[in-house]
Structure 1
Amino acid sequence: MSLTPEQKKQYRTIGHNLNPIVTVAGKGLTENIQLEVDRALEDHELIKVKFAVGDREIKKQLIKELCTIVEATIVQEIGNIALIYRPSIDPNPKLSNLLR
């Protein structure tokens, strides 16, 4: 799923005030991390994930791999933080970062 430039701008604005929900450390993408990111995307639709790995290339590869696994779209990457988006099937207005 690709986002229009207007959507990306809107999501970056919303994401600016968000805190990272999940931290990916040196062990890589474990099954628990994948499940937690999947659950967070279903609840919030737009989340930040922090990648605490040293190498830039490994970080970029992990971000792409995670987005492929959870079927999400990368909105923005800044430093060690990735802002990712996946539309929810049944969004909850109290939990969704897009509907609040």
Structure 2
Amino acid sequence: MPPVDHPQPADDERQKMIDWINSHAMTLKCDEAVFPGRVTVRRLNRSEYNNTVRDLFGVDFQPASSFPADDTGYGFDNIGDVLTLPPVLFERYLEAAEQVTQRAVLAPD
């Protein structure tokens, strides 16, 4: 309710609020299955990929520079419904992973 130093609702107004909460909020049917819609599997765009590699592995190079250009939608290149994973990009992901491991992981002599 309002802070103590502010005007307080009358008792009948409080009761109306309590009745509304009990009749609406407390009667939600949470046990029924609801279809929330489809979920888009999202991939990183080129900039996000480069930044993630840099932040996770501490290697400062641009492995995504060889990736094909990202698709754009509504002027953005990071919308999950727009970004696809064509076979050539998947191959470039594998090549980039090899480059990252060569630069980030030191093999014992």
Does 1 or 2 have the higher relative contact order (CA < 8 Å, sep 6+)? 1
Largest Rg, 1 or 2:
2
TM range (shorter): under 0.3
Task: Give 1 or 2: higher helix fraction.
Answer: 2
Task: Give 1 or 2: higher strand fraction.
Answer: 1
